[in-house]
Amino acid sequence: MRPAAVRLVRLGRVPYAELLGLQDRWLRRLQAEPGTEASSGTEAGALLLCEPAGPVYTAGLRGGLTPEETARLRALGAEVHVTGRGGLATFHGPGQLLCHPVLDLRRLGLRLRMHVAALEACAVRLCELQGLQDARARSPPYTGVWLDDRKICAIGVRCGRHITSHGLALNCSTDLTWFEHIVPCGLVGTGVTSLSKELQRHVTVNEVMPPFLVAFKEIYKCTLISEDSPD
């Protein structure tokens, strides 16, 4: 049986709101299609990849930001968005790889927990390919990928009617000082890091994109079809 296909949409560096808008369009597209189980050559959805153009704080379904905190963060020059993903508050910005798979999990033969584990495995594999052999996933509430007590990749997803949205944020050359203004993911006493900080060299989003895509195809057992137009 041929593996399921996933549309690869590379947006480059764009405003976070543009990513959310495209994600919503893909969600509506998949929700309008009849649900099917995995079968040969099935199209399972889209893999949306981008680098945020500016600083953005997001809150998840469990909140994480009070109105006062929201005002304070906006005063710093950042956008603030309330999203439908799991988890609490986190930061997105330039130098970060954002990966939002909008997938019908039935077409990949996956359950939600398997999807989250697969996202973590993609980030772990990427870190290993970059020479960071100690990267590992941890159990909730420490969802994501860590190097000791330093989080390098945050994961927060949403799933309704078997269709996923949101995904992971991997710090490549992110300005980590933005994280100092929140308690990332509500985890007190933990730190954040980036590929650049760990490897002691500048690592761009463009550099890690090819090995990330290799890891995604291997772990999700799918093929990727490049999509020229984000629509």
Q: What is the pLDDT of residues 185-201, one digit of tens each?
A: 656 567 899 999 999 99
Q: What is the gyration radius of the CA atoms in the chain, in angstroms?
A: 17
Residue 68 lies in a domain: yes
CATH code of the domain covering residue 134: 3.30.930.10
Q: The domain containing residue 112 runs over which residues?
A: 5-30+54-223
Residue 230 lies in a domain: no
Residue 45 lies in a domain: no
**163 in helix, strand or coil?**
strand
* Other C-beta atoms lying within 10 Å of the C-beta of residue 81: 14
Residue 81 lies in a domain: yes
User: Annotated catalytic residue: which of 50, 122, 185, 222?
Assistant: 185
Tell me: is residue 154 an annotated ligand-binding position.
yes
List pLDDT tens digits, range 117-176: 999 999 999 999 999 999 999 887 788 999 999 999 999 999 998 999 999 999 999 999
Q: Structurally, how many domains does the chain consist of?
A: 1
* Residue 185 annotated among the catalytic residues of the structure: yes
Residue 66 lies in a domain: yes
- For residue 64, count CB atoms less than 10 angstroms from its CB and return exposed for 0-12, middle for 13-18, buried for 19 or more: buried
Tell me: is residue 84 an annotated ligand-binding position.
no
Residue 48 lies in a domain: no
Residue 93 lies in a domain: yes
Task: Evaluate whether 51 touches 96 at the Cβ level (below 8 Å).
Answer: yes
Tell me: is residue 167 an annotated ligand-binding position.
yes
Q: What is the pTM of this model?
A: 0.91
- Helices (H) and strands (E) in the chain — how many of each? 5, 12
141 upstream amide cis, omega within 30 of 0: yes
Tell me: is residue 191 an annotated ligand-binding position.
no
